[in-house]
Structure 1
């Protein structure tokens, strides 16, 4: 017995050591098994559309948590995990993403960023919307505040992407989808932007309609600036179409006799009614100023600058108030420039000649009625006459040789008198002027060409 006891006492330490080895082996083999099961489970659901997916393994038991976007998708993902070889039990902690009622999504733009809010139906749709927003706006910051929710109307992503294509046309504003209703508000970046957005909305996918479009157009602005130093008149802003554009450039070329016309106009839709009827006389008024600025905005006209003499300033104010349509506002800020220094008769004659070389006094065809194109020239002739107070001036009318000689003689006399009357209305003494008509008796060029006839139809100023 004593010998057996000794043998038993030696066996127990060995058994303990063996148990330790077994435990160590089991412990070292569990971690790889769990890792393999976790990897297989994740691989089984890698193509499933899930959010907040999480797989944890304890031994051969798996806990699977995820948010699914449909019950069918949730059950399919769960079945895929349960089918992984080696798994004994799957603890189901999946659930459905909450449903949004109504399903609302919006894109709001301000000066510095575009914010995407509301709900998106799937993670990949959410990502596409963010990328589309960045592509539409370039360097503008895109803030993603979208959540994920069920309940999106069919073809939601197509409708949202179409709206994001329009966001670049807005200076600021908000685009909203609420179920199948689309609403828009804000300010278009450019003229025509509002109409372009409205046209694009006609391509909304089936099931969507426009509940409200409150996108506003920016002001329709036409501007003209007369620079006496650079001798330019710069036209900028908007005109309705090519024909109006060409007409205004032509009018400016005739009315601004000493200035180069700089054309920075662009053709844009959205012009207010009576646009041309307002801009044409307003340009004529600017041509009569020594320096000035014209701004036409929607239904308001602002004209500021210096007239050449007092009577011209009063006539410009009265003329615009009379010529504009009643639903337009006119805001004149017209002063009178200081008078220029007097000159002697020889210099006076040269100043008249210089002006009449640059442009000629125009009349309505076959009549002794001054053309509006010549009012700026006539104001400069009046100012020049004021600078030579001792000079007596003959105003000589001439015609071409077409038509009856007696009729031409009478027409030349009437036209000369009309010009003299204009200078008298400017404040000059009537006794200083003699209106004389020469008909076609003193041609400057041949009457066998249109160009020669045009040179012969003229008014001369002769200082006596």
Structure 2
């Protein structure tokens, strides 16, 4: 273009005497017409052609965000019609990048480079989309790299977030039902990006509606499984088959909803429990299996649609099932039913108490209970006999209403026992207390026999002396309905010898008789009987309260009689609970229950200054609290006696 400049200078220097009528000088025509701008991050350099000097001047006043501009343009004709606007727009967008290049070749604009952010890349692309320019930008760096896929009810997969390159976006677009319009290019994807995304897509095949999200290396999933089988497959995949480098995030997927939610727990005669029907998830299943015992099994399917508080209700149902020898607890979609054979009358009473205290009937629960299998048949007449043999051993025959009475007698007599009694229903009122009184009367004798014919008692025997005879008679006449006068004999005392004159002796000072003491033998007997009664754990309470169940009355009577053997001892009543519920509330409940037992013993004549109530709450379990039976053992009253002088 030097010739153009020289020509322009010559025209400007016309010799004197000549007049320039008209001048029109055009730059040389070039093709292809090229304009280029290169940005290295510090300054922009222009090269190629411009149609005139005003065009070059416009580049110097363009909005380049303070970026220095170097121009090396040559004037040339042949510029495309859109040159002025297109070149200025490309130059200003180039200045927004970290580095890059812009060009115009025969009217076609191009821009390539590296943007600093996704927002800048989007802005540059939008600005140039209207003039037909070809924009090729490197993916911008993304600090929070994520991608999500949502499966809609229609089956459409909506992708959002970032992909590292156009090839990845293209491959995702080929998936059936894929919508990739919201995906953006971005650099900085973690190494596990593709394996995590492929794994997320595999999870979606088991979901009818939901979303997977891969944020960095953390994978989350929400949604509804297509079927119970798909739900189980999802559980297996996310717990055992995560790709290397992928971490578990939120796992909030649920099984499909059941039209009718049903669940059953069945206890066989051997005590083994089987779970069938539906449960919300494996966590609830495992909790129930733990509560049901080590031999329990499950055949449940997972389903949504369980009513509110279903998990706690099902655990309560298992606690009731533990009170059955065999039976079921069942939820039919509307309410719970407890059906079967209680282990004993005490267990039946415990079920009835649970219903009353917790308002289960009002909450839609019901029971269908058969008579306990161990309930003895009623007999009439209700006969019984106790005999003390000359060697001090005892023989019991006839009928007794409960095993607890057998156990009491075996401990109480402190001698060898032969017991051929039968457990039978139909005992008259006060029968157990009368049996204890009759045996106590025999303990005052060297040998003897007490017989109950169903209505009245007859007692006979031989006492060591008159005092022991009187003690036995007092027990018999004051506590037993007698059919005849007791035939209890004792050796007659020897006649006193005539007095012999003695020399007068100085008076012997009298000593105050010592207060009665509990002998070591009586103390040992007392401790043994109390320990045996305490070990039966038969003092029961209403659930969650310090109200003693009516079934515990015989136990309290026996306990009062046992501690009466050792009146100079202290009696400690300990309350213990299982681990269900709040620890502090359990501690308060254990104290209240121990105090309730102390009050019952005072009502039965035990001196209040002997009694001490102590509560330990859940702090001293005798076994694990992970089964219903274990919890029953831990809910207990423990009574001990201690010599006040020890």
TM bucket by the smaller chain?
0.3 to 0.5
Q: TM-score, normalised by structure 2?
A: 0.29
Larger Rg: 2
- Which has the larger share of helix? 1
Higher relative contact order (CA 8 A, sep 6+): 1
